[in-house]
Amino acid sequence: MREELLQLIPDESRVITETIEKKYLSDNLGRKIGTAKALVFPVSTEEVSKIMRFAYEKNIPVTPRGAGTNLVGSTVPTGEGIVLDLSRLNHILEVDRETFTATVEPGVILEDFQKYVEAQGLFYPPDPGEKKASIGGNISTNAGGMRAVRYGVTRDYVMGLELVLADGSVITVGSKNRKDTTGLDLKDMVIGSEGTLAVITKCVLKLIPKPEKSLSLLVGYPSLKTGIESVPKLFQANVNPTAIEFIERKVVALGEEFLGLSFPIPEAVAYLLLTFDGSAEEIDNHIKTVDHVVKEAGAFDVQILDDPQLLQNVWKIRGCLVTAVEAVSEQEPLDIVVPINRIDAFVNFVNELEQQTGMRMISFGHAGDGNVHLCVVRGERDDATWEKELDENLSILYHKAYELGGLASGEHGIGLSKQKYMVRATNPINLALMKRVKEAFDEKRILNAGISYDV
């Protein structure tokens, strides 16, 4: 395959076939390692198209890859295929102030893009925890993150895409138009499809004006239950938060130890971390209301994070939690989502299950949109026990989530890790439709072939 690929990309440094580094055969966790015959780094749509045409003609599996920060095995290649690394397609092509859009290549890193537009008084709201992820990866997983409560998720900011299809043809879907009822929405099918339908080679993104001010608040509670219970009360008070995160003190302690930083209100058992965007006056009014609402709901302290260093430390700790738990023990990260009025029921269920089974379960996450990040911790279990007990507990947890009207994934995607549980809980008619959509885009099933809906 090497010689054929070198004819398509005549640059030895961008066609690797000898020893492929393990990180390119895995996800961010590095536990599942796949197989591939080649790793290629295209730098243009044309190169992506040539590779796809070649793979299509020869029936070779292709796994698209952004920054590899996913947590669900969605960049674990299968068979004797090609890993298509899009990280060198990494240019910001245009910022169009008249339509409030930006056009970028998929390998642009989220934090670089955010900084770039903010320096021009513009704002790209999607803000998942991992800022080193790529825009193409964010789109392919429909990434959510902290600011989804107010602004929505990545899907809400994707206006158009250039795609290379499985057979190498290049199309555009969506546009710079603010409205579109022009046939079936192919763009929305590709968003969140985890590299299974097409390769994204350009992205037209929606921007908004940068908010005048942003302020975070930390609220300390005597229990997680009181914290979670105050979330619907905040919505009812119409304070329009940008982010509402929940974290238990025991989880914060892991982050503090991991980073060597400290969190305010150490006597709390649980916290809500809130952010507000807007004018100074708007924020002041919201903060007064929040102070009243949360104290009435049982909070014992509210701290305004107006010291930049403190603010940075608190968000750094919140941002490192998956990694901090991982540093203590192997763990399975879940991102179950439930309706916002069922978070309390779900987190209480998790705590009871932890007591019953003795398997440590650490939950934190996006309280404002019902997205619970749950780390199921391996501890000292040997391989066989871990596999068996993890599967038993995941079955129970996913079953409960669906019973509460929730879903297997709010933002991380299905990947290889959640297929079994998602398939089990999804109506067979819906699954059959998903398979037919897959076939319509990729009838030879060469794109990210490991992810399927017929487990």
Ligand X SMILES: Cc1cc2nc3c(=O)[nH]c(=O)nc-3n(C[C@H](O)[C@H](O)[C@H](O)COP(=O)(O)OP(=O)(O)OC[C@H]3O[C@@H](n4cnc5c(N)ncnc54)[C@H](O)[C@@H]3O)c2cc1C
- Residue with smaller CB distance to ligand X, 85 or 277: 85
- What is the spatial distance between Cα 353 and Cα 399, in angstroms, rounded to a whole number? 13
Site track for ligand X across 18-57, x = CB under 6 A: ----------x-----------------------------
Distance in angstroms (rounded) separating the CA atoms of residues 426 and 101:
36
State which of residues 71, 254, 375, 401 lies at the interface with ligand X (CB under 6 A).
71
Count Cα atoms within 13 angstroms, Cβ side, for 397: 33
Q: Which is nearer to ligand X, 84 or 270 (CB)?
A: 84
- Is there binding between residue 255 and ligand X (CB under 6 A)? no
**Could you give the residue ranges of the DSSP H alpha helices within 59-193?**
110-118, 135-141, 148-151, 186-190
Nearer to ligand X among residue 111 and residue 454 (C-beta): 111
Nearest residue (CB) to ligand X, 147 versus 286: 147
b/e per residue 216-255 (b: at least 16 CB within 10 A): bbbbbbeebbbbbebbeebbebebebbbbbbbbbebbebb
Residue type, 398: Y
CA 425, CA 403: separation in Å to the nearest integer? 10
Residue 132 CB, shortest distance to ligand X, in Å, is 8
Planar angle of CA 370, 454, 411, nearest 5 degrees? 20
200 binds ligand X (CB under 6 A): yes
Tokens of 281: 């006056």
Beta strand pairing status for 82-85 and 38-40? Answer: parallel
The count of residues interacting with ligand X (CB under 6 A) is 36
Q: Among residues 125 and 299, whose Cβ is nearest to ligand X?
A: 125
Give the interface segment with ligand X, choosing from 194-202, 262-270, 294-302, 431-439 (CB under 6 A): 194-202
CB nearer to ligand X: give 101 or 196.
196
Is position 239 an interface residue for ligand X (rule: CB under 6 A)? no
Residues 284 to 313: which contact ligand X by CB under 6 A?
Answer: none
Interface pattern 133-172 for ligand X (x via CB under 6 A): xx-xxx-xx-xxx---------------------------
Tell whether residue 417 is a contact of ligand X (CB under 6 A): no
* CA 68/CA 274 separation, integer angstroms: 29
Beta strand spans in 146-242 (E): 158-164, 170-174, 199-206, 208-209, 213-221
Please tell me whether residue 231 binds ligand X under the rule CB under 6 A. no
Would you say 63 or 242 has its CB closer to ligand X? 63
Q: In this chain, which stretch among 67-75, 116-124, 176-184, 230-238 interacts with ligand X, using CB under 6 A? A: 67-75
Please state the closest distance from residue 225 (CB atom) to ligand X, in A. Answer: 24
Listed in sequence order, the DSSP H helices in 194-328 are 224-236, 249-259, 280-296, 308-319, 321-328
For the CB of residue 140, give the shortest distance to ligand X in the complex, in Å: 3
The nearest distance, CB 307 to ligand X, in angstroms, is 24
Secondary structure (3-state) at 308: helix
Examine residue 64 and tell whether it contacts ligand X (CB under 6 A): yes
| Binding flag, residue 61, ligand X (CB under 6 A) | no
Which residue in 5, 108, 130, 393 binds ligand X (CB under 6 A)?
Answer: 130
* Cβ-based nearer residue to ligand X, 283 or 377: 377
Contact between 62 and ligand X per CB under 6 A: no
* DSSP code string of 47-96: HHHHHHHHHHHHT--EEEESS---SSSTT---SS-EEEE-TT---EEEEE
Q: State the nearest-atom distance from the C-beta of 267 to ligand X, in Å.
A: 28
Residue 179: CB minimum distance to ligand X, A: 26
Sheet hosting strand 38-40, strand order edge to edge:
15-16, 38-40, 82-85, 62-65
Contact indicator for 271, 252 with CB cutoff of 8 Å:
yes
**Which of 14-22, 50-58, 191-199, 418-426 is the region at the interface with ligand X (rule: CB under 6 A)?**
191-199
Q: 67, 114 in Cβ contact below 8 A?
A: no
Distance, CA of 2 to CA of 146 (rounded, Å): 43
Closer CB to ligand X, 124 or 302, in the complex: 124
Instruction: Tell the smallest beta-carbon distance from residue 143 to ligand X (Å).
Output: 3
Which residues of this chain interact with ligand X, rule CB under 6 A? 28, 63-71, 74-75, 86, 106, 128-130, 133-134, 136-138, 140-141, 143-145, 194-195, 199-200, 322-323, 411-412, 448
